[in-house]
Amino acid sequence: MKFNELGRSMVEMLGVLAIIGVLSVGAISGYSKAMFKYKLNKQAEAFNFLFMNAFQLMPKINNTSSTTDALFLAQTMDKLGLLPDGVRLDVNNPKILVDPFGNSIWVYAYPTAFGIGYNFTSNNNDKEICFNLFNMYKQHMDILYYVSSDKFTADDKENAQIMGRFYGNKYCNSSDNCIKDMTLNDIDILCNNCANDATRCRLYAVWK
């Protein structure tokens, strides 16, 4: 007597599981990329919010110290409610802010200039984050003094080497690199310097 076999064979089941596994990996990868893109967009919004709040706050800061001494304003901005969502005080250093990627930010005032510094923590997203910041800075080229990428070498951890500096519209002349003329290739070179050795790379936006 013959009976019709019901169900699936083991080979068929393994094949189905393999297909599901491949689709799951693709879905997870796509989800991760989408979340990273979302996080980049949120970071750009947050940093722009932080920048504009710092820009408006700085004229009210009276720094009468020497030109070599900076006032760090992280705690001041926190107390005034000027920090965007996702940016918080560093629990180990009240002079420093931390963004959603875990990178350090410091807002500072000298008697002659003001600025925001950004320091990377060496992760696989440093180049994309760097691009994000420079593209944001380009939106403010009318009010910026300059933007720069600085790097500390292994031989000299006290004095930074300027990897690139671009000046805002009010301060740029024919002999300078200008933010308005900054190309994607220029940004790529600056951001590659940071991505290749992020632990000693810092970005600065400075205004007067």
Specify whether the CB–CB gap between 121 and 102 falls below 8 A. Answer: yes
Report the residue count for the chain: 208
pLDDT at res. 197? 63
Residue 162 included in any domain: yes
Segment (H or E) for 25: helix 10-57
pLDDT at res. 3? 47
Q: What domain count does the chain have?
A: 1
pLDDT at res. 202? 86
Residue 100 included in any domain: yes
Report which of 119, 120, 100 is spatially closest to residue 108, judged by C-alpha positions. Answer: 119
Residue 193 included in any domain: yes
Q: What is the DSSP secondary structure assignment for residue 120, as one 8-state letter? A: -
Residue 27 included in any domain: no
Residue 79 included in any domain: yes
Specify whether the CB–CB gap between 102 and 88 falls below 8 A. Answer: no
CATH number for the domain including 71? 3.30.1690.10
Residue 11 included in any domain: no
pLDDT in tens, 21-46: 666 656 565 677 788 788 888 888 99
User: What residues make up the domain containing 119?
Assistant: 44-207
d(CA 125, CA 77): 27
The rounded average pLDDT for each run of 10 residues, N- to C-terminus, in the chain (208 residues) is: 55 68 63 79 90 90 75 93 93 92 91 90 78 91 93 64 89 89 89 69 90
Residue 142 included in any domain: yes
Other CB atoms within a 10 A radius of the CB of residue 56 amount to 10
Residue 111 included in any domain: yes
d(CA 201, CA 196): 9
